[in-house]
């Protein structure tokens, strides 16, 4: 909760800084939930909708009551979300519109609306940000420019036109070709550095060092006679004002011709665009750079790294994904500001070790990505080790352990995001190691990735063709060995590769979400099996089915399970639901709500893998389960020592005292079975009793005498 609160405070501070310096209003638009809320707005300026509410209703209300009637239709079209996303997906970073918006004074004033996406990854709400800025001054300038164009068409022969232009803060200058006649608006010498003594304005700005050094080439090119002879020239340059500060100006030259087509004179206008230019630069910076560290954000890194690889075909490159082990622990223990200080230090170290042929950026949290150039014989690892060592020296109070995955770029057409993913796969092989700090993406990882890709290509067809088979592993009474139930497990009967065990595909299915479909398939197959036993007169035993932790995030999973049970019309006492221990610490609100609904229908629950993760006495006190299943690793390791046996004995006793059933998984020896019996554990499963087996074999061995 503290971290969440801190995150919200930081987010608010970022919004406030941006808004107070640039914008009048900021709205957060939650497209997924059709909701909006006002993050910030200037008091007593615009008429605004309520602080938060339904997005679609607010758009319609604003269009009808707070937008000028002539702009209302365009406003509704602007908030057509399909068009907004189409524009964003076309490569544009934002969608911008200009409308007349109602002020509290009862008048309509011009405002600019800018919409761009906030954040996304996989699985979160789609959020858009809508910034609103007063552009009345900009519209005035546009009107002035239009007026200037009209005046220039009349060749500005009348002195009255000069006075009008000067009074509207547009500075005018002109010169007649072939003569020494020059004219500069009087305010030039009041606002800008330089001596306006009759020289060409180009000479003044260059010789008197009025123009910014980085804009000199632009000025020379745009003000050449060759460029001016084309009729009209526009440029944006920085000029030094009397305060010694460079300000952005828009300079426009218009050529007036003699009747024979020769150039008669050149008329120019200058407008101060410093404020709007700096707003644009601020937004551009926020779109391209990480605000915390000042280095590229992930999208800019991808673009810059791909450009480097593409433009230097003879250069070798490696992609490195780097982060810090237990960064969340540092954040929680030492505070978020300390974590931010570490991130800034990491960015500084990386930057100091990068060259002109390298690119680097921050992906998220403590994850940084580097695209490093190297040559044959170039000690790439030496550079990487240096970076890791310097990061490791960040603090004397605690240890910072960075690690990284390295992927050599072999196919230059591979997207940078994919290369980073491959580097991540390599890094995962050493994550948490106290010895290895780096790993390369190699053929073994590539083979695993190709295998997973093949599995993903075949999984839907396999489900459709019923290649996934339910196997049953019996649960036994420890005292007499009788079968008291079974657990439904799944095997993939692959037509080419034979039977695939769950470790080959379950972790992948949990990552890509296919586990939801497979869970429901196994539920249905299990109910069909139980129904078959009843129809054939067998005395059926209860069967437990697994609910993946991914499924837990679906608040309606219990409805699907109930529908299947009702469809096969089986006694609910014959089906038990197994949930892994980790499920009870990830999404308890929705999980407990679904469990309560199933318990009301007579469905019992067991906690699987107890002792494998975050087991605690508090968890046992609160979870609404009927059975605790001791994880095989916890059980096997504990019974190997006297201390471990004591832990197992007291754990089983405590579970029994809580009036819960306990089942030990992974029992492999007679010694283990005897020990469990002595401890008061009445049920067990494992290879000592039986391996998982096909349904017909289970029926022959354990149900035939009940026919």
Note the pLDDT of residue 126.
87
Distance of alpha carbon 536 from its chain centroid, rounded?
53
509 and 540 together in one domain: yes
Query: Cα(443)–Cα(413) distance, rounded to whole angstroms?
Result: 19
Nearest to 660 by CA among 702, 591, 610, 696: 610
Averaged over 339-366, what is the pLDDT? 96
Nearest to 410 by CA among 309, 539, 543: 309
464 and 579 together in one domain: yes
Sorting pLDDT into bands at 50, 70 and 90, what band is 170?
Answer: confident
pLDDT digits (tens, 9 = 90+) for 578-624: 988 777 776 677 778 888 888 898 999 998 888 765 555 667 777 88
Averaged over 12-21, what is the pLDDT? 54
143 and 127 together in one domain: no
Note the pLDDT of residue 157.
46
Distance of alpha carbon 146 from its chain centroid, rounded?
44
Residues 6+ apart with CB under 8 A from 35: 29, 52, 53, 54, 55
Sorting pLDDT into bands at 50, 70 and 90, what band is 16?
Answer: low
Point out the least confidently predicted range of 162-176, 311-325, 621-635: 162-176
Domain that holds residue 29: 2-134
Average model confidence (pLDDT) across the chain: 87
pLDDT digits (tens, 9 = 90+) for 369-393: 999 999 876 689 999 999 999 999 9
In a domain, 636, yes or no: yes
Domain end (from 134, 154, 173): 134
Note the pLDDT of residue 310.
95
201 and 321 together in one domain: no
Note the pLDDT of residue 646.
87
217 and 352 together in one domain: no
State the pTM of this model: 0.53
307 and 273 together in one domain: no
196 and 255 together in one domain: yes
Note the pLDDT of residue 184.
87
Note the pLDDT of residue 707.
45
Note the pLDDT of residue 147.
56
144 and 127 together in one domain: no
Averaged over 623-651, what is the pLDDT? 80
In a domain, 186, yes or no: yes
In a domain, 616, yes or no: yes
Distances (CA, A) of 499 to 41, 153, 371: 62, 84, 41
Note the pLDDT of residue 185.
85
Q: Which two tokens stand for residue 610?
A: 């107890």
Query: Cα(62)–Cα(50) distance, rounded to whole angstroms?
Result: 11
Pair 511, 519: CB distance under 8 Å = no
Query: Cα(143)–Cα(137) distance, rounded to whole angstroms?
Result: 10
Sorting pLDDT into bands at 50, 70 and 90, what band is 140?
Answer: low
What is the CATH classification number for the domain harbouring 156? 3.30.450.20
Note the pLDDT of residue 483.
95
Whether the per-residue pLDDT at 261 is higher than 60: the answer is yes
Dihedral angle, C-alpha 170, 274, 12, 341, nearest 10 ° = -170
**Of 574 and 136, the one with more pLDDT:** 574
């Amino acid at each position: 909760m503290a971290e969440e609160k801190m995150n919200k405070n930081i987010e608010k501070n970022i919004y406030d800084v941006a808004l107070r310096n640039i914008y009048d209003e900021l709205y957060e638009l939650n497209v997924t939930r059709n909701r909006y809320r006002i993050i910030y707005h200037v008091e007593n300026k615009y008429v605004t909708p309520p602080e938060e509410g339904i997005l679609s209703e607010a758009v319609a209300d604003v269009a009808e009551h707070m937008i000028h009637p002539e702009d209302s239709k365009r406003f509704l079209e602007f908030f057509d979300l399909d068009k907004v996303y189409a524009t964003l997906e076309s490569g544009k970073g934002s969608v911008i519109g200009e409308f007349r918006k109602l002020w509290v004074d009862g008048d309509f004033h011009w405002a600019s609306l800018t919409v761009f996406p906030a954040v996304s990854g996989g699985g979160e709400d789609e959020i858009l940000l809508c910034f609103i800025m007063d552009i009345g001054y900009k519209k005035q300038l546009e009107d002035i420019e239009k007026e200037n164009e009209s005046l220039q068409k009349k060749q500005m022969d009348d002195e009255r036109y000069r006075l009008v232009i000067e009074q509207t803060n547009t500075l005018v200058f002109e010169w007649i070709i072939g003569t020494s006649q020059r004219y500069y608006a009087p305010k030039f010498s009041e606002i800008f550095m330089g001596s306006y003594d009759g020289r060409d304005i180009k000479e003044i700005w260059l010789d008197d060092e009025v123009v910014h050094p980085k804009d000199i080439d632009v000025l020379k090119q745009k003000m050449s006679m060759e460029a001016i002879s084309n009729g009209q020239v526009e440029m944006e340059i920085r000029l030094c004002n009397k305060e010694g500060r460079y300000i952005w100006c828009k300079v426009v030259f218009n050529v007036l011709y003699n009747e024979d087509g020769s150039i008669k004179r050149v008329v120019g206008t200058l407008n101060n665009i410093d404020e709007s230019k700096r707003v644009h630069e601020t937004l551009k910076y926020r779109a391209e750079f990480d605000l915390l560290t000042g280095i590229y954000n992930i999208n800019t890194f991808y673009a810059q790294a791909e450009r480097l690889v593409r433009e230097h075909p003879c250069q070798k490159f490696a992609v490195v994904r780097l982060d810090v082990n237990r960064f969340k622990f540092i954040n929680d223990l030492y505070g978020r500001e300390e974590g931010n200080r570490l991130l800034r230090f990491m960015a500084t170290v990386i930057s100091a070790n990068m060259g002109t042929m390298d690119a680097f950026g921050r992906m998220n949290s403590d994850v940084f990505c580097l695209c490093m150039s190297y040559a044959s014989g170039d000690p790439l690892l030496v550079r990487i080790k240096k970076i890791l060592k310097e990061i490791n020296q960040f603090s004397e109070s605690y240890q910072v352990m960075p690690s990284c995955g390295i992927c050599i770029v072999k196919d230059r057409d591979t997207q940078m995001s994919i290369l980073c993913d491959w580097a991540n796969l390599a890094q995962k092989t050493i994550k948490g190691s106290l010895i290895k700090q780096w790993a390369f993406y190699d053929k073994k990882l590539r083979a695993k990735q190709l295998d997973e890709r093949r599995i993903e290509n075949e999984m839907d067809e396999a489900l459709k063709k019923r290649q996934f088979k339910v196997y049953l592993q019996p649960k036994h009474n420890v005292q007499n060995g009788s079968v008291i139930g079974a657990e439904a497990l799944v095997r993939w009967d692959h037509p080419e590769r034979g039977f695939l065990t769950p470790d080959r595909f379950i972790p992948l299915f949990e990552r890509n979400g296919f586990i939801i479909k497979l869970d429901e398939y196994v539920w249905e197959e299990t109910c069909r099996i139980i129904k078959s036993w009843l129809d054939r007169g067998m005395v059926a035993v209860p069967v437990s089915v697994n609910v993946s932790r991914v499924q837990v995030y679906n608040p309606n999973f219990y409805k699907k399970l109930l529908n299947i049970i009702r469809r096969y019309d089986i006694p609910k006492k014959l089906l038990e639901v197994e949930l892994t221990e980790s499920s009870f610490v990830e999404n308890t609100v929705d999980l407990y709500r679904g469990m309560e609904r199933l318990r009301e229908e007579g469905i019992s629950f067991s906690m699987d893998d107890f002792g494998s993760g975050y087991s605690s006495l508090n968890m046992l006190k609160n979870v609404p389960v009927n059975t605790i299943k001791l994880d095989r690793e916890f059980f096997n390791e504990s019974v190997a020592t006297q201390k471990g046996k004591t832990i197992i004995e007291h754990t089983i006793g405590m579970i029994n005292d809580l009036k819960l059933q306990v089942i030990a998984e992974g029992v492999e020896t007679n010694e283990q079975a005897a020990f469990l019996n002595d401890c008061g554990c009445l049920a067990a499963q494992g290879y000592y009793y039986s391996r998982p087996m096909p349904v017909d074999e289970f029926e022959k061995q354990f149900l035939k005498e009940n026919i």
